[in-house]
Chain A
Amino acid sequence: MKAHGKAWKFGNDINTDEIVPARYLNTSDPDELAKHCMEDADEKFMEKMAPGDIIVAGSNFGCGSSREHAPIAIKAANISCVIADSFARIFFRNSINIGLPIVESPEAAEEINEGDEIEIDFDSGTIENITTGKTHQAKPFPPFMQDIIKKGGLMNKVRSELS
């Protein structure tokens, strides 16, 4: 499984309020949430990005409240992957569980520039920067976690295991 798209860069400690502000939490409809994805970090983000694009952020991405709405908004906005120096613990869990691909790579988070064209191979953990020609290696997800992401989330995986 691969992701391919343009990189959008964000800083450290992006919290779940910036990813999807609490004022929009009166709904849990993914498409509604997606409209406000990253709004308080970059107001124009949803106008600029294209489906398949990649978020590249610093450390502690997704800190703050444990709302599952945050990774849901990113996924529904058609971001194909988030690369970060590190993720906050519950955001990490929630992302995997709802099937949002996330990759931890301090080196890639540091060296990728805004606008670079990136390709990520989730099976091998390879992050290729097509613009600069550099390659970064992240720890690949073990098969069962790739399986969760491929199936579109934990509940779908459970469903397929049970049937």
Chain B
Amino acid sequence: MGMTISQKILAAHADRDEVTAGDLIEARVDLVLGNDITAPIAIKEFTDLNIKSVFDPEKVALIPDHFTPNKDIKSAEQVKILREFSKAQGIKHFYDVGRVGVEHALLPELGLTRPGMLIIGADSHTCTYGAMGAFSTGVGSTDMAAAMAVGKTWFKVPEAMKFIYEGKLQPYVSGKDLILHTIGDIGVDGALYRSMEFTGTVISSLSIEGRMTMANMAIEAGGKNGIIEPDDITLEYIRSRSSEEFTVYSSDKDAEYVDVREYDVSKIEPLVAYPHLPENVKPARESGVKIDQVVIGSCTNGRIEDLRVAAEVLRGRKVHADVRLLVIPATQEIYRKALYEGLFNVFLEAEGIVSAPTCGPCLGGHMGVLAAGEKCVATTNRNFVGRMGHPKSEVYLSNPAVAAASAVMGKICHPDELK
């Protein structure tokens, strides 16, 4: 029986020739990630072990991104734990304000997430790195603590689902719409425990940014990981970011899939996920829902490509008088690029604001929290009750073009409804 790309990566890291779905294995990890919410707990558990050092200070990444720049005393204390632990342990990949960014945008940019790697992170959107052909998944703080100590963790080998995208993308349709369409199709538990493998000619021509957006949201369908086989686009991206060696895996022809779905993307319109689940997907066109705020950013859609798309829609236009537009470049590098490309001028002239890289409002942390009854279009990945603030506020998920157009119209719309 053949293996999927995910199974091959797991087998290689468990020093086995083969694994089968359902097997419980122990595997070496190539990178262990934590943020300012999850790492402090893991650091405490690690410290209780009374051992001198982490398994490999180059393979641990501590990224304070959620409440940074520190929003209050408590969050400052959390980040301080990461900072001091990093110093004491010689952890190379700790990044502070001025260098930090949203973890799942930052690590790929630093070349730390490469094909064939096995990556765990105490953050559910760790699945993003599947866009580079890595096996990556979210875990708990205890998992992170143990992995920091011994450099390995346990896995149940997942079954796999294959999603094939064919046809021609319509204007303003992006990776975000493909993944929203998919979640709308299978539901928020449609891929529970499973690998989601994205493939087809549409994926082959999708940018690395679009692929990251898709893999990022695998967890919103309950998936254990999302993954795309590396191709020339991947390799070009990786080589521009890293000189480290890596292994490219791909799925065998006779690999087993519990479900295979094919989508004709020509029929997919720009989409919006209505409150309070990412599966509540409807076309953006003529939605007409009036909004109070628009957030363009996050680990899902805060990359340079996303900002360019938003700026294109906003160029020469003004944000609706009743709407607040917040643009949050996901990393310092993206921030600098957007600045040099003149995108900030576009956002500022449209009367939006640009903030420093942070998760901020994505999890209702700071920098744009919602009041009761307010509605927000966000390019983020979760629209659960209270996700961006008050339990009676609402989040609508969309791609950056729809978000930008909606900011101008004051209500959710398709970008071509702008005149």
From A98, which residue of chain B is reached at the shortest CB distance? B142
B375 to chain A, nearest CB (A): 24
Q: Is there an interface contact between B45 and A89, defined as CB atoms closer than 8 Å? A: no
Q: Give the interface residue-count category, chain A.
A: 20 to 34
Is B73 part of the contact surface with A, judged by Cβ < 8 Å? no
**What residues of B have a CB within 8 angstroms of the CB of A94 in the complex?**
140, 142
Q: Mark A57-92, 1 if CB is under 8 A from B, else 0.
A: 000100100101000000000000000000011101
Is A155 part of the contact surface with B, judged by Cβ < 8 Å? yes
For B142, give its contact among A88, A145, A154, A159 (CB under 8 Å). Answer: A154
Q: Is there an interface contact between A155 and B48, defined as CB atoms closer than 8 Å? A: yes
State in angstroms the CA–CA spacing of A115 and B222 once bound together.
Answer: 34
Q: Is there an interface contact between A92 and B156, defined as CB atoms closer than 8 Å? A: yes
Q: Is there an interface contact between A162 and B150, defined as CB atoms closer than 8 Å? A: yes
A76 to chain B, nearest CB (A): 16
Is B255 part of the contact surface with A, judged by Cβ < 8 Å? no
Q: Is there an interface contact between A97 and B48, defined as CB atoms closer than 8 Å? A: no
Q: Is there an interface contact between B49 and A155, defined as CB atoms closer than 8 Å? A: yes
**What residues of A have a CB within 8 angstroms of the CB of B142 in the complex?**
68, 94, 97-98, 153-155
B155 to chain A, nearest CB (A): 9
A88-146 residues at the B interface, CB under 8 angstroms:
88-90, 92-94, 96-98, 139, 141-142, 144-145
Say yes or no: A90-B140 contact (C-beta < 8 A), given A141-B24, A155-B145, A161-B150. yes
State in angstroms the CA–CA spacing of A87 and B73 once bound together.
Answer: 38
Q: Is there an interface contact between A162 and B149, defined as CB atoms closer than 8 Å? A: yes
Q: Give the interface residue-count category, chain B.
A: 20 to 34
**What residues of B have a CB within 8 angstroms of the CB of A92 in the complex?**
156
Q: Is there an interface contact between B49 and A158, defined as CB atoms closer than 8 Å? A: yes
Q: Is there an interface contact between B192 and A154, defined as CB atoms closer than 8 Å? A: no
State in angstroms the CA–CA spacing of A94 and B139 once bound together.
Answer: 9
Q: Is there an interface contact between A162 and B49, defined as CB atoms closer than 8 Å? A: yes
From A89, which residue of chain B is reached at the shortest CB distance? B193
Q: Is there an interface contact between B139 and A162, defined as CB atoms closer than 8 Å? A: no
State in angstroms the CA–CA spacing of A148 and B150 once bound together.
Answer: 14
State in angstroms the CA–CA spacing of A155 and B146 once bound together.
Answer: 6
From A13, which residue of chain B is reached at the shortest CB distance? B189
B188-213 residues at the A interface, CB under 8 angstroms:
189, 192-193
B144-194 residues at the A interface, CB under 8 angstroms:
145-146, 149-150, 154, 156, 189, 192-193
**What residues of B have a CB within 8 angstroms of the CB of A157 in the complex?**
146
State in angstroms the CA–CA spacing of A89 and B139 once bound together.
Answer: 10
Using a CB–CB distance below 8 Å, which chain B residues touch chain A? 22, 24-26, 45, 48-49, 51, 124, 139-143, 145-146, 149-150, 154, 156, 189, 192-193, 222, 224
Show 7 A/B contacts (Cβ-Cβ < 8 Å), sorted by A: A60-B189, A68-B141, A92-B156, A94-B142, A142-B25, A154-B146, A159-B49
